[in-house]
Amino acid sequence: MSTNTAIKIENLVKRFGKGDSLVEVINGASFEVKKGELVALIAPSGAGKTTLLMMIGCVEEPTSGTIWLGDEKVYENRWLTKQTRKIRREKIGFIFQAHYLIPFLNIIENVTLIPQTNGLSKQESEKIAIELLDYFGIADKAYSMPSSLSGGQNQRAAIARALANKPEIILADEPTAALDMKRSVDVVKMLKKIAQEQDVAIIMVTHDEAMLPLCDRILKIKDKKVVSEEVSKFQDLH
């Protein structure tokens, strides 16, 4: 596999239920995402966007297929490691529609939680956290509680938290859904900057077509498979 490939999916299948209640969500999805790419994932509601993201993130077990994360094959018709939690902690950053910051921890404590869980010292974790919060323009909120921040500031803190373990991959599930247009554009531009400057592969699930021209590439779930579409198709929406 190319050293520039961060995610490689081959013939991925996901079914829920059995017998008459069997539902097939994904059937034979194959695609790659390169390091440094911001890729949008779009599909109608219920078509399996979040399910696909959670399989890539080693949260949801596929029915069959193959998943490569970087140079490690993590799934081939079964998990090839028992350390899926470790993979999530070390290789992947998650961003969600809601920020899910822990309400009784201040911002810097939220951001340092995963690095410290991974064994990094408190001092080194806080150094990384302050650098990230400064990068996102909210270093002055480091010791504030999430309840005192705006929605946009909390989402920036959540992105900082996702980056704190220096992941190779970021999986963002509707990260702009709770934000207004200006803040949504700011967040997506920020994600693109992160992808380019830190060589991180980012897959962003979105329902907002206005965000698509800001991405490098678009993946679409169609007929239970994943197809690639050019951003130029959506340029007139920008």
Amino acid (1-letter code) at residue 11: N
Contact (CB, 8 A) for 96 and 175: yes
Q: What is the CATH number of the domain that holds 223?
A: 3.40.50.300
Report the domain count for the chain. Answer: 1
Confirm whether 9 is domain-assigned: no
pLDDT for 156-192, tens place per residue? Answer: 899 899 989 889 999 999 988 877 888 888 889 989 9
Over residues 229-237, the mean pLDDT reads 66
Residue range(s) defining the domain that contains residue 233? 38-52+80-237
- Residue 111 belongs to a domain: yes
Per-residue model confidence (pLDDT) at position 237: 46
Mean per-residue pLDDT over the chain, rounded = 90
Give the pLDDT score at 201. Answer: 96
Asked if residue 17 is part of any domain, the answer here is no
pTM as predicted: 0.88
Residue 1: the pLDDT is 59
Residue 18 maps to a domain: no
Q: Kindly report, residue by residue over 92-118, the tens digit of the pLDDT.
A: 999 888 889 999 999 999 999 989 988
- Flag whether 146 is in a domain: yes
How far is residue 229's CA from residue 168's CA, in Å, rounded to a whole number?
24
Calculate what percentage of the chain has a pLDDT beyond 90: 61
- Cα angle 94, 189, 141 (rounded to 5 degrees) comes to 65
What is the tens place of the pLDDT at every residue in 41-91?
A: 998 888 899 999 999 999 999 999 999 999 999 999 999 988 898 898 889
Confidence of residue 238 (pLDDT cuts 50, 70, 90): very low
In a domain, 5, yes or no: no
Question: Quick check: is 28 in a domain?
Answer: no
Residue 13: enclosing H or E segment and its boundaries?
Answer: strand 5-16
Instruction: Say how many CA atoms lie within 13 Å of 144 toward its Cβ.
Output: 14
Beta strand 38-42 with 217-222 is parallel
Task: Tell me if 33 is assigned to some domain.
Answer: no
Give residue-wise pLDDT tens across range 198-232: 899 999 999 888 899 999 999 999 989 998 877 76
